[in-house]
Amino acid sequence: MTNPVKASGRILSIDIMRGLTLVLMLFVNDLYMPGVPAWLGHMKADFDGMGLADWVFPGFLFMVGMAIPFALGGRITKGEANIDIAKHISIRTISLLIIGVLMLNSGRVNAELTGMSKNLWAVLMYTGVFLVWNKYSEESSKIFTTTGLKLLGMALLAFLVFRFKSGQEVNEGSLITGWWGILGLIGWGYLVAAFIYLAFRDNLLYSGLSVIFFLVLNILSMLSLLDFLNPVKFLLGTIIDGNVPFIVLSGMFTTLILKKLTSSDHKKLIVTIVTFGIVSLIAGFILRKWFIISKIQATPSWGLICNGISLLLFAILYWIMDVKKQINWAFFLKPAGENSLTTYIAPALLYHLIWISGLPVLFYKHSPIPFVVIAGSIVWSLAMVGLTALLVKAGIRLGL
């Protein structure tokens, strides 16, 4: 039996698990928590524990890391120069940071000072994002149209940034970077892991040491032993805190294991992943003695436990899809897995359009029956995957 990593250069279960984490992300983001079981949502910052929503984002971060050796490895195999790959990494990171900060600030719009409502500002902002970062056709006849649409999007975003006013004292009412938003955190984690991969390629030892380094950095940060770096934390805080890079690098390291193991021994491969998953869970619960399990605090115990869950879940999906070839059941996850940025951003735009229209599309959120609320959010998340498929078919597909 041929190893799918060796045969095709890609693992099908990576796209499916990425799609699964995205669907779950849409589900928990849409879920209106009052009356819904607490284990589905986020735990408070000082609570020692986690719900489903507390695993979903780190689960996606893990998958970001798993994809890096394939994405960058493909560029290296094609003979692309390191400097060009470095430019690609930098541009992708900056793009994620920009979109993340814009999304973060969309809820801070002061309608009176800005001259437009939060919803209108957000709709225009997401429209600008789609214009700038859409994957346009490369047909030469459309090059001027493509350039014009991108410039229009840039002008729109610049206008919105110029008009933005929060009415708050912080940063004199202008945009803030804050915690960078979800996409910003992904950007910082990707930046670290991508450059480490570019430096060490498929070297398991150095990549493994990088994982350990950022875990130690996370521990030291939680112990306030890195406070001397506070002057640069406004910019590099996500890297210094260590947690996000640790999770992304753990995913990257997992893919390197898959690429290194023998081409026929699936049992050894799966046992190795499961073993790492169990070890990660045990380590997380051991560290719980000193650090509570908290997503908001980004504790090392939380990061390790999330990695353990991701490893075990991936082992199951790998066995089902890449070994047993049972793939038909996961057809509905493919659009999300293959178009993750579109899947994440398109629903955000749709929310604001719904709120502007006043149409009772989200009626299920106000139901006193938990089942209705949960079922509504499930339908919403699956419908958003369908929306992504339609957008892609129409030539609207975000890509960095």
Tokens representing residue 380 in the block: 């919403």
Percentage of the chain lying above the pLDDT 90 cut: 83
Tokens representing residue 146 in the block: 């493509």
Residue 2's pLDDT is: 43
More confident position, 334 or 164: 164
Average pLDDT over residues 273-294: 97
Could you read off the pLDDT of 91-102 as tens digits, one per residue? 999 999 999 999
Cα distances (angstroms) measured from residue 292 to each of 26, 49, 88, 371 = 26, 7, 37, 31
Residue 3's pLDDT is: 45
Residue 382's pLDDT is: 96
Q: What is the mean pLDDT of the chain?
A: 93
Percentage of the chain lying above the pLDDT 70 cut: 95
pTM: 0.94
Of 135-144, 292-301, 312-321, 341-350, the least confident: 135-144
| CB of 227 closer than 8 Å to CB of 238 | no
Confidence band of 143 (pLDDT split at 50, 70, 90): low
Residue 368 has pLDDT above 60, yes or no: yes
Strand partners, 23: none
Residue 267 has pLDDT above 90, yes or no: no
Confidence band of 263 (pLDDT split at 50, 70, 90): low
Average pLDDT over residues 251-265: 85
Residue 4's pLDDT is: 44
